Structure 1
Amino acid sequence: MKLRKLIGSLIIVALLALGSYWYEENGQIPPSSPSDSEIVQLVFPSDRYPETAKHIQDAIANGESAICTIDREQAENNRRLSLKGVPTKKGYDRDEWPMAMCKEGGEGADIEYISPSDNRGAGSWVGNQLEGYADGVRVEFLFQ
């Protein structure tokens, strides 16, 4: 019976190690529950989403936070507040930094007109990277 438990434990450890390796090799952050003081670092693929990367970097250079505290429940309200008074423009999306899903987002966010494919691709990429993290997790955006 002890041998069976030992083998089971070894299999679990191997699967966890394999999962972490897979995430790192595929440019993803392994889901976890960092402490309140810990900041998860997310390397944004500037080559894949250059307009969004430039907008975020410009916004940070102009004083916006590089840290996003995940707050999905407020995303809709933050988006409404950040885009209030910013007219739509045919052929463009209104990109916001900090993002609507960030506690730091909302009124006063930096808005830039960018191509829909870049904006939506970047949003999807970020959402996929952060889906395993709970609200309250702080994420620092870094760039390649």
Structure 2
Amino acid sequence: MAKLEFPSSKYPETAQHIKEAIAAGKSPVCTIDRDGADHNRELSLKGVPTRKGKDRDEWPMALCAEGGEGADIKYISPKDNRGAGSWVGHKLDEYKDGTKVEFIVK
């Protein structure tokens, strides 16, 4: 299993959300499923209203097979959320779909 150290100093709101979601029982492991991301996002955000000036952050992320219905949602700043999403996307580029990645918040 791959391990990914997530930098809380760069993306503090996302890191805090990941920590809280894992503490509440969500998996720290993400099985990469890029093809399922749009569907998972649709399921996880269903019934969660948008808020002006905030993004709806999901854990597990939509690109994780573990994501989707029942994901933990938190409103955070778009800058933090989108920066973190881009950072994770680049870090996971080297892994194929089906790879399990354990997130470790540093």
TM-score by structure 1 length? 0.73
Q: Which residue of 2 aligns with 1:74?
A: 36
Look up the SS of the partner of 2:30 in the other structure: strand
| Match of residue 58 from structure 1 | 20
* Greater fraction of residues in strand: 2
User: Which consecutive aligned stretches of 4+ in structure 1 deviate over 3 angstroms post-superposition?
Assistant: none
Cα distance in 2 between the residues matched to 1:143 and 1:86 = 25
Give identity over the alignment, percent: 68
Counterpart amino acid of residue 42 in structure 1: L
Structure 2 unaligned segments of length 5 or more: list them.
Answer: none
Max radius of gyration: which structure?
Answer: 1
How many pairs are equivalent?
A: 106
1:124-135 equivalence runs, <5 A: 124-135=86-97
Q: Which residue of 2 aligns with 1:105?
A: 67
Cα distance per residue 1:80-101 (max 9 Å; x no partner): 0000000000000000000000
Structure 1 unpaired stretches of 5+:
1-38
Give TM-score, length-normalised by structure 2.
0.99
- Distance of 2:77 and 2:89 partners within structure 1: 18
Higher relative contact order (CA 8 A, sep 6+): 2
1:121 aligns with 2:83: yes
- Which protein is richer in helix relative to its size? 1
1:1-144 maps to which residues of 2 (within 5 A)? 39-144=1-106
CA RMSD in angstroms comes to: 0.3
